[in-house]
Amino acid sequence: MTVYKRGNKWCFHFEMRVNGKREQYKRGGFDSRQAAAAAERRKLSEIDGGARIGAARMTVEDYLRGWLRRYERSGSRKRGTVVTTRGQVELHLLPRIGGVTLSKLSRVKVQELVGDLHTEAGLSAKTVRNVIGTLNKALNDAVADGVLPYSPAAKVDLPKVKKPELATWSPLQVSCFLKFADDERQPLAAAWWLVLTAGLRRGELCGLRWSDIDLLRGQVTVRKTRLQNRSGVWLDEPKSRKSRRTRTLHAGAVNALARLKNAHEELAAVVGDFGHDFVLVMPDDGRPVQPQYVTRWWHRSIAAANRAGLQLAAIELPTMRLHDGRHVCFTHAAEAGTPLHVIAAQAGHESIVTTERFYLHATEAADAAATQRHEQYLQQALRDA
């Protein structure tokens, strides 16, 4: 490995064996020896995880950038996971520990990073755990590559995640809200039906195309999910294999979708062909809605429904996250006596353990109520005898 000066600029040049073949790597145009040496280290890290550089010569930034390139090119992760991981590295890890020599990254330093992210940066406990999880994954790979003897992020103390108490609506509140959305011809009324009666996730809503909907059979099939973060909006595969599913729709949902399709045709006659067949579009020009827009409109719809109290039989609707609407859907299904394995399939849960964690109490209540009705039925038969 050589760093040298050519004219007024610095260069690096080295050879190494890759996949059994000797390869040469050279690059110039650097303003200083330090810049050329750093570029050389990054290139080495990109090629073999830094095993030939050693942790004593490499910074955390050198290693993480090379690790991230290999992570992105492996093809083993969904696009959304890759985008999230890159954001964690670029936004939270490199600015705080990027300049630390890899061999000097200690458990104490990582523990300080945890406190910095949680208190000074104001990240939630869940986000902190995710960021440190990414760091630990990268450092475990360094261990596997022989760069580090152990991961200093493996046994740090992490903030506890306090799961928010899920809000819920009664069946009457759901019915009143959906009636209000239909009566007011809200642009996303069909989306609220799909959340509250079919349990679709936000990304699944935004990824729906008309080819995924069979109005004659009254069915919707989840094939794609449309996601959004700071990096933009993209179309991806569903959350898991079992998230690809077909749901039979309530009649009200079918009617809302039919009205929405008619509205699309009327809008297209004015603005021209949309150039896509997404189900949820902006009501003024037919562009696909951004997922964050759906969330904002959800809260506006609840506020509008509460202002129209008379139409809701004077029933106040508690503020509720859009994702909690999915929870309400399956809670009501469980309370109605739907078996857990059916709910798991409807929800697209990868494991029925997840379904049990959320809805077992509701099915137990439904079972108890059914047993009580059966008991009353038998007692009535005895009295009538």
Q: Provide the pLDDT for residue 376.
A: 85
Q: And the tokens for 55?
A: 């942790």
Q: And the tokens for 224?
A: 């794609």
Q: Provide the pLDDT for residue 310.
A: 60
What global pTM score does this model have? 0.75
Beta bridge partners of 229: 232
Q: Provide the pLDDT for residue 2.
A: 78
Name which of 294, 230, 205 is nearest 84 in CA terms.
230
Longest dimension (CA), the chain: 110
Q: Provide the pLDDT for residue 180.
A: 93
Q: What is the mean pLDDT of each run of 10 residues along the chain (385 residues)?
A: 85 72 83 89 75 77 88 79 89 94 93 92 91 95 88 93 81 93 94 97 96 96 90 84 94 97 94 94 93 96 87 78 95 91 93 88 80 82 79
Is the separation of the CB atoms in 70 and 46 below 8 Å?
yes
Cβ density class 262-293: b for 16+ within 10 Å, e for less:
eebeebeeeeeebeeebbbbeeeebebbbbeb
Q: Are strands 232-236 and 225-229 parallel, antiparallel or unpaired?
A: antiparallel
Spatial distance between the Cα atoms of 326 and 229, rounded to a whole number of angstroms? 21
Q: Provide the pLDDT for residue 312.
A: 62
For residue 367, what are the CA distances in angstroms to 317, 327, 357, 362, 379?
A: 28, 20, 17, 9, 18
Name which of 10, 338, 102, 179 is nearest 2 in CA terms.
10
Q: Provide the pLDDT for residue 239.
A: 80
Q: And the tokens for 201?
A: 């996730």
Residue found under tokens 């009254």: 218
C-alpha 53: how far from chain center? 36
What DSSP string runs through 346-370? HHT-S-HHHHHHHHHHHHHHHHHHH
Spatial distance between the Cα atoms of 9 and 57, rounded to a whole number of angstroms? 22
Spatial distance between the Cα atoms of 119 and 115, rounded to a whole number of angstroms? 6
Q: And the tokens for 349?
A: 């849960």
